[in-house]
Structure 1
Amino acid sequence: MEWLPDILGDDFEACAFPAAGPDGVERTATLVRHVPGAGTGRGAPGRTGGNPPRAVLFLHGWSDYFFNEELATFWAGQGFAFYALDMHNHGRSLQAGKYGGYVADLDDYDAEITAAIGIIMSLQPEGQPAPSVALMGHSTGGLIAALWASRHPGVVAQLVLDSPWLEMHGSPALRRAARTMVEPLARFRPEAVIRLPERSFYWRSVSSAAEGEWTLDENYRPPRAFPVRAGWLSAVLAGQSRVARGLNINVPILVLISGASANGMFWKESMRRTDAVLDVNTIALRALSLGRTVTLERIDGALHDVFLSAPRVRADAYNRLARWLRAYVLTDGNSA
């Protein structure tokens, strides 16, 4: 494996690696790690004789990639080695000739998530125990993280979900109706584009190129997102159906969502302080299907990604996350 300087600059490195899914197809993903002091040769994991006893792996949302340096700094401050995975067909892992954001089955991400956690474990110096790993996911990445954790019990110690896309906007009935309409097309023409109204409201509220504060690479995170393809939407709907049936995840789970949603075909000022993507009330109810120990935090004024919200709002989110970690993580890195 070769770690190279990352697009985020000092303190970050990236490594691309192949992973073969359950269908036998080999796909490329990219693991990003936070290495405080790497730009000065100080503090990089594995270089100074010891790693933190805990680690966290972050999964981005659909049509997205990892760029939130502040999130990495927070986790490091909590005693975690921070890693993020740009999953195949996303961000740093985009390849010419491949459809951005496309996947035909959410299980296709299993191999790269498993491999990434294996890499994280392997970086621990000889003689030190393997780190306890938390899994964190945002939006579609939150759905993927929850499904992965349910299929791989005993691997991660905690699950943190930032506005996970656990259900369609509105109601389970809408999901069932959408699945009925999409599945025939997904079966025979999975890569067909489904024409939906294009909205860039969330991007507008986040990007410094519009009215937000975050610098986004539009090659990795296009303003109007990648085209929605039938196979991808069918995969998401199938994953949400599994959540609805109950996942029985047996580790502590934290779900963070905005206090309110804003929807519609036209921009409105409330979209600066609400979730303009998901129905937060539906997500709050569906979160109860995840497992036995679920904590729900509703963050007033938060965007769809609560950790990209206004400084005061995301400070509240970080404080709530830190409080939860104090409650559910012991000093030896195991779950409470």
Structure 2
Amino acid sequence: MAQPTTDDPASAAAAGATEATGATSGPATAAVIAHAPVQGRQRMRDGTELLLRTWQPDPGRFAEPLGSVLLVHGLAEHAGRYQHVADLLCGLGLRVRAFDLRGHGASGGARMVADHPDIYLEDLAEVYDAALRGWNELPILLGHSMGGLIAARFATARVRQVRALVLSSPALALRLSQPMLALHRVLLTLAPRLRVPNPIDPRHLSHDPAMVAAYRTDPLVQTTITASVLESFIRGMAQSQADAARLEAPMLMLVGGADRVVDPAGSRSFFDNAPPDLREEVWYPHGYHEIFNEAQPLRGEVFAALSDWLKRHLHPSASPPA
């Protein structure tokens, strides 16, 4: 892995664009960042470089971090939109690493293309391995939407051991009509890398107009999708649901009941099949998809639930496997 740097041009542009649009606004505003990330790049086995951001808790408050978080963002967005989430986690004594998925944000790779259905899972494993070597402790895995699907798949397939799992509006089911599935199969056969308009309607992401506007104007948000990426969803959702009972780590699910981007019924099904002694869920009946970016007071309620759960699970970290 390349040494973290703050002078990478693409990284600096990504951070600047995000701050300029206000996409990081939340408990910490875009103008005042409590914990500035250190940026770097990690080269995957196939040569693709992913942009990484690492946030550290205040050493004046925490002599050593109480734990580590790997954060996986959602479809078409990028990790720079999670500054306010990183601030919250750092305030709890956790260090945080997030990366732009391949083909997203300031990472390399063909835009919105998945060379095979498990490519995002493999990338997460490489980021995990590098983090484990540096931190020597099992991380908490936090994923939103598509990132929640990747995280759920990672944990239930037991790709690597994790300390805990947090899923925010995970993409564990989609509302796909038969005509849409038929078109998908045609594109997957004939043009799997063809970019078509992304069906996400920004109005359905949050009840906060400022967040919707920031998403619309963020130059790093992708506006297309390909059949190859959708296929990674379809296969990953089915396998995650089938493997839910194999979960080995404590899990918190934060779900918006009014989500129109993914089908929240998938979260219900996954939760119901996960081990009862490991699962917790907070359901927000009126919440839209991006619950970390919801209008107040709901956003504050979501952050409070996340903080409370993490505090209860911040016991001494498990040692990494030998």
Is 1:93 aligned to 2:103, yes or no? Answer: no
Contact 2:171 2:263 in 1 (8 A): no
Pick one of 103, 106, 111 that aligns with 2:114.
103
Q: Letter of the aligned partner of 1:105 in structure 2?
A: H
**Structure 1 residues 196 and 251, CA gap change in structure 2 (3 angstroms):** closer
Contact 2:202 2:212 in 1 (8 A): no
**Structure 1 residues 216 and 92, CA gap change in structure 2 (3 angstroms):** farther
Match of 1:244 in 2: 241
> For 1:243 and 1:289, how far apart are their aligned partners in 2?
10
Matches within 5 A, 1:211-222: 218-221=218-221
Pick one of 153, 163, 167 that aligns with 1:161.
167
C-alpha offsets along residues 77-105 of structure 1, whole Å, 9 cap, x if unaligned?
Answer: 2221111111111112156xx22x22143
Matches within 5 A, 1:261-276: 261=258, 275-276=259-260
Q: Shift of the alpha carbon at 1:245?
A: 2.1
> For 2:216 and 2:55, how far apart are their aligned partners in 1?
18
Q: Shift of the alpha carbon at 1:302?
A: 2.7
Which structure's residues are more often helix, by fraction? 2
Which structure is higher in RCO with an 8 Å CA cutoff and minimum separation 6? 2
SS in 2 for 1:102: coil
Pick one of 279, 283, 300 that aligns with 2:267.
283
Match of 2:50 in 1: 29
Match of 2:153 in 1: 147
Contact 2:117 2:228 in 1 (8 A): no
> For 2:291 and 2:120, how far apart are their aligned partners in 1?
24
SS in 1 for 2:50: strand
Larger Rg: 1
Gaps (5+ residues) in structure 2? 7-11, 20-32
> For 1:290 and 1:106, how far apart are their aligned partners in 2?
23
Deviant stretches of 4+, over 6 Å:
none
Contact 1:202 1:276 in 2 (8 A): yes
C-alpha offsets along residues 27-54 of structure 1, whole Å, 9 cap, x if unaligned?
Answer: 22122111356xxxxx49xxx9964141
> For 2:169 and 2:56, how far apart are their aligned partners in 1?
27
Number of aligned residue pairs: 291
Gaps (5+ residues) in structure 1? 38-42, 125-129, 262-274
Contact 2:41 2:49 in 1 (8 A): yes
Is 1:305 aligned to 2:290, yes or no? Answer: yes
**Structure 1 residues 196 and 302, CA gap change in structure 2 (3 angstroms):** closer
**Structure 1 residues 50 and 19, CA gap change in structure 2 (3 angstroms):** farther
Question: Equivalent pairs: percent with the same residue?
Answer: 20
Task: Give the aligned CA root-mean-square deviation in angstroms.
Answer: 3.1
Match of 2:223 in 1: 226
Q: TM-score, normalised by structure 2?
A: 0.78
